[in-house]
Amino acid sequence: MSEARTPAQIEADIVRRREQLAITLDEIGIRMHPKTIVGDAKAKVASTVDQTAGRAFVAVNRVVSDVKARFTHEDGAPRLERVVPAAVVVLAVVGLIVSSSRRRKA
């Protein structure tokens, strides 16, 4: 059998539930406030940018390490058999660009 509740117990239960409801409504109000929504969106964007920048840094660092490994020996000395041809190619490309830009101006 269920116990009969007194009017005082019922009133106390109603007061407690009203307080809980008021707290819940305050939390909803805070969450739905435009400043809160904008702040949450900014934080999410900042987090995404940080993650993307971190991934980009790791990728660039890996590429630089790979290129460095191809053009240097383990002791750090340059590999002339690879550096000289690469330098010649770079100078040839720069020369073509310079001569092309001079032709356009003339």
Choice between 25 and 3, residue whose per-residue pLDDT is larger: 25
pTM of the model: 0.49
pLDDT in tens, 35-58: 999 999 999 999 999 999 999 999
Q: Is the dihedral of CA 69, 74, 75, 80 positive or negative?
A: negative
- For the stretch 5-23, what's the b/e string if a residue is b when 16 or more beta carbons lie within 10 angstroms of its beta carbon? eeeeeeeeeeeeeeeeeee
For position 2, what pLDDT does the model report? 61
- 38, two tokens: 């904008």
Specify the residue for token string 């002791």: 75
